[in-house]
Amino acid sequence: MARTDRSRNIPHWYAGDDDADVLSLTSGEGARVTDDAGDEYLDFMAQLYCVNAGHSCAPIVDAMTQQAREIPYVSSSKTTPARDELAARLADRAPGSLNDVFFSISGSEANESAIQIAREYQDASTVLTRWRSYHGSTYAAGGLSGDPETRSVVERHAATTGVGKFLPPMVHNSPFDGDTPDEIGQQAADHLEFVIKNEGPDSVAAVLTEPVAGTSGAYPAPPGYFERVREICDEYDVLLIADEVISGFGRCGDWFGIGTEGVEPDMITFAKGVTSAYAPLAGVLADEEIAAEIRADGHPLGQTFAGHPVACAAGNAAMDAYADGLIENCRELAPYLEQRLRELEARYGAVADVHGRGLLWSVEFGDPETGEPFVDPRVERDADNPVEDVREVATDHGVLFGSGRPDTQVLCSPPLCIDRADIDEA
């Protein structure tokens, strides 16, 4: 299908080629977006896995407008009802004793706040994160990420001090040799214990990890993995921080991805879906005992726009939308999306695996026999990558998919308001 030529010179920094083939989107409605040439696309990636309530959701827009009219900005040394309400609602939805919210602006900053809190509380500096993870792009959050593509930038510029890495509990192309997901989960947890022991448990402040990996390939952990990780963290007095920047706010079928694991972390970091991406907002949900101690000693460093009232108003309205049926819709459609993706596995010799949870799925391209990807997962994204062609062809047919890192997969992460017909179309 021939669509409008989208090459353009872009007058701002864009992380692409000079003659970028970039969509300029001018409107959106639900799961559909339209570009400046009038072409319509099914947004099967919710932009960056974040427009969970769909585009142009009127109650969110109205709540933001009302807040901007009443009082658009209030500093962090004061408060406003929208901010208080959102904090209370987040605490209500978070597991157990995670009742204290420290707002920030982006997922990267939320993770930086979380490690400041963990290091202060534990009086220890090492934070363990896994390979095949993404935790952000700022100085320290870049160092936390175990993402092969951004690794080279991280090694040149970002702070990797005080960060140790462990192997991920992936089942497809696993670094472990267990025969079943359960065995792999067990081996992966044993490996984490080995890493903690070798780092020296007293020096380890926290394990920070995504409950369901996002841009590193939408892989959930095998059953029982997180329960064992929780036990190990308790045994060695290490905090467990769940990075829910993608997996939260209905994306994986629950308010938080860790909820499905039946495990209570010591902190949760969130961003993206909290406002359904209508305004930048992020934060840390911390266990009340940890928060009390940190509050007594001061607090982590904040930012001017942290907990911005207009963003908090968007957050309250987005939480209404999630509670009013979107999380339910995600739960209902998840098995159907899985079924349709598994049909691809059976139909095409180029699909090595599909995996995910809720409405966050990855189609892995590679050899179905060996699982080997067509491109080396450690190399940087390049134009000859056949997986890039898949996304381009899909765009030409009017469907937008995500890419993720490493670039061996097509990511599906639609707004939670989609229906079966949208899944069929994608």
Q: Which residues contact ligand PLP (rule: CB under 6 A)?
A: 106-108, 111, 134-136, 210, 214-215, 243, 245-246, 271
DSSP for 54-95 reads -BT-HHHHHHHHHHHHH-S---TTS--HHHHHHHHHHHHHSS
| Shortest separation between residue 241's beta carbon and ligand PLP, angstroms | 11
Spatial distance between the Cα atoms of 24 and 22, rounded to a whole number of angstroms? 6
| Shortest separation between residue 220's beta carbon and ligand PLP, angstroms | 14
Question: Quick check: bond before 223 cis, omega within 30?
Answer: no
Nearer to ligand PLP (CB atom), residue 134 or residue 166? 134
| Shortest separation between residue 89's beta carbon and ligand PLP, angstroms | 20
Beta-carbon contacts of 273 under 8 Å, excluding residues fewer than 6 positions away, are 50, 52, 246, 248, 249, 250, 251, 318
Q: Please name the helix (run of DSSP H) or strand (run of DSSP E) that holds residue 27, with its range, or none.
A: strand 25-29
Which of 277, 282, 315 shows the shortest CA–CA distance to 50? Answer: 277
Tokens 């427009």 found at: 51
Question: 182-185, long-range: CB within 8 Å, 24+ apart, which pairs?
Answer: 182/222, 182/223, 182/224, 184/222, 185/221, 185/222, 185/223, 185/224, 185/225, 185/228
| Shortest separation between residue 218's beta carbon and ligand PLP, angstroms | 11
Nearer to ligand PLP (CB atom), residue 246 or residue 351? 246
Nearer to ligand PLP (CB atom), residue 57 or residue 277? 277
One-letter amino acid at 155 equals E
| Shortest separation between residue 142's beta carbon and ligand PLP, angstroms | 10
| Shortest separation between residue 422's beta carbon and ligand PLP, angstroms | 23
| Shortest separation between residue 293's beta carbon and ligand PLP, angstroms | 25
Nearer to ligand PLP (CB atom), residue 108 or residue 113? 108
For the beta carbon of residue 189, count every other beta carbon within 10 angstroms: 23
| Shortest separation between residue 150's beta carbon and ligand PLP, angstroms | 11
Nearer to ligand PLP (CB atom), residue 169 or residue 351? 169
> Which residues are paired to 355 by β-bridges?
362
3-state helix, strand, coil in the chain (%, to 5): 40, 20, 40
Which of 272, 342, 252, 225 shows the shortest CA–CA distance to 106? Answer: 272
Beta-carbon contacts of 119 under 8 Å, excluding residues fewer than 6 positions away, are 125, 127, 162, 205
Beta-carbon contacts of 244 under 8 Å, excluding residues fewer than 6 positions away, are 210, 211, 256, 257, 258, 268, 269, 270
Question: How buried is residue 144: exposed, middle or buried, by Cβ count under 10 Å (0-12/13-18/19+)?
Answer: buried
Q: What are the structure tokens assigned to 13, written together?
A: 């920094």
Nearer to ligand PLP (CB atom), residue 149 or residue 243? 243
Nearer to ligand PLP (CB atom), residue 246 or residue 418? 246
Nearer to ligand PLP (CB atom), residue 280 or residue 309? 280
Nearer to ligand PLP (CB atom), residue 244 or residue 364? 244
Minimal CB distance residue for ligand PLP:
107
One-letter amino acid at 31 equals A
| Shortest separation between residue 151's beta carbon and ligand PLP, angstroms | 15
Spatial distance between the Cα atoms of 378 and 195, rounded to a whole number of angstroms? 23
Nearer to ligand PLP (CB atom), residue 186 or residue 307? 307
| Shortest separation between residue 137's beta carbon and ligand PLP, angstroms | 6
